[in-house]
Amino acid sequence: MIQPRWARNWPAGSRLSEHARRADSGAYYFDGRSPIKHLVSISFARDALTIYPADGGEPIICPYGLTRRIEPFTPREHLALRPNDVSGARLVITDPALIAQFQAHAPEIFAPPFLNRSRILRWSAIGATMLAAVLVFTVVIPAATGLFAFLVPDTMKRSVGASTVKQVFEPLGLCTAPKGQAILDTLTGDLASRIGLDAELNIHVAKVPIVNAFALPGRHLVLTRKLLEKAESSAELAAVIAHELGHAKLGHPTEAYFRRGLVSAVTDALFGGGFVAGGMESVAALAITFGYSREDETAADIIAINALNDAEITAQGMVDFFSRSSESESGLGNVLNKLDWLSTHPSDGERRKRAAELGTGRNQALSPDAWRALKEICG
């Protein structure tokens, strides 16, 4: 039998059992190599217990510091231990008196300190991962998507925008009345030059029955026919175009392209799949994407108001448009408007207030005749 360091100062020839009360029953042992159940007796010393196999095998010394409790264990009134940290070895004490003795010798195994090493490590890892996740969402993803948008050549962005128009909007139909298109191109070009977007850009009106406008990569803008129908003045339309130009100026469409994939991948990995986590992942991905989107919208609004001011076009168009769209929101849209964190845009009230405060222009964007001609772009 190998004596542990703590037992080396004992008198020569002494055995552990001579220094501790030896128990003769009430425990069994699995050696971690086979499932054979060995009846054992055990004895307790100050720093270790010793297992004596009933079949006469070598006694096994198990320092308390290297003994782990297996919990939960069935039946609950028995005490299961993993001696010497050997993964498969199990000592099960069934005798309540022996359990009490063991508890007296190694109370820390029954009541480990609240802040033990394993718990501290676990919560440090959880905290670090949460911090990393926050950093990924607030710093890494915006920086990475910004870098991608910067690195992608302009010709590539133009091609992606053009192919999206071709694939998505052309099949639905584009409004191409020459007079209306010319007016729209002039208005857009004028606003673009005030924003500092001098490169080639394209604006289309798509026959889509919803009120919306899109800025695509490579300075392709798309307005829906429904939006054109709902706009009550050329200033309102100019506000929408200026807003989309703001997105184009800031490179949001290309950033959003990469961001969607990244956010989805990170939330998917973070939350995992499955019944509950899958649902949480979807909500989180939406909330995070919408969070970025709200920041983008605010930045685009500010650029739009500055462009409108420069062109002396009234920002009242923006106020009116948002007021009307806010009133027409019902059901889910209205609820989402109230749940700020789950909305793609800043609240309409906030946007109206900003436009009213910062807007200085007084004029409409187009003459009444030009506005009428533009409204007839879809025939």
Contact string 181-210 vs another protein (x = CB under 8 A):
------------------------------
- For the chain, the residue count is 379
Contact criterion met (CB below 8 Å) for 211 and 226: yes
Single residue of 96, 274, 333, 368 touching another protein by CB under 8 A = 274
Q: How far is the CB of 117 from another protein (least distance, A)?
A: 12
Cβ 313 to another protein, closest distance in Å?
Answer: 34
CB of 81 to another protein, least distance (A): 11
- Considering the complex, what minimum distance in angstroms separates the CB of residue 152 from another protein? 7
Residue burial 14-39, b: 16+ Cβ < 10 Å; e: rest: eebeebbeebeebbbbbbeeeeeebe
For residue 106, the tally of other CB atoms under 10 A from its CB is: 19
Neighbours of 197 (CB within 10 A): 19
Range 48-67, binding another protein (CB under 8 A): 53-55
Least Å distance, CB 31 to another protein, is 8
**Residue 239: CB partners within 8 Å, gap ≥ 6?**
304, 308, 313, 315, 317, 318, 321, 355
Q: How far is the CB of 253 from another protein (least distance, A)?
A: 12
Q: What is the footprint of another protein within residues 224-263 (CB under 8 A)?
A: 257-258, 261-262
> Which range in 7-15, 36-44, 242-250, 348-356 contacts another protein by CB under 8 A?
36-44
Binding site for another protein (CB under 8 A): 24-28, 30-41, 53-55, 70, 72-75, 78, 87-90, 94-95, 122, 125-126, 129-130, 133, 144, 148, 152, 155-157, 159-160, 163-164, 167, 257-258, 261-262, 264-266, 268-278, 280, 284
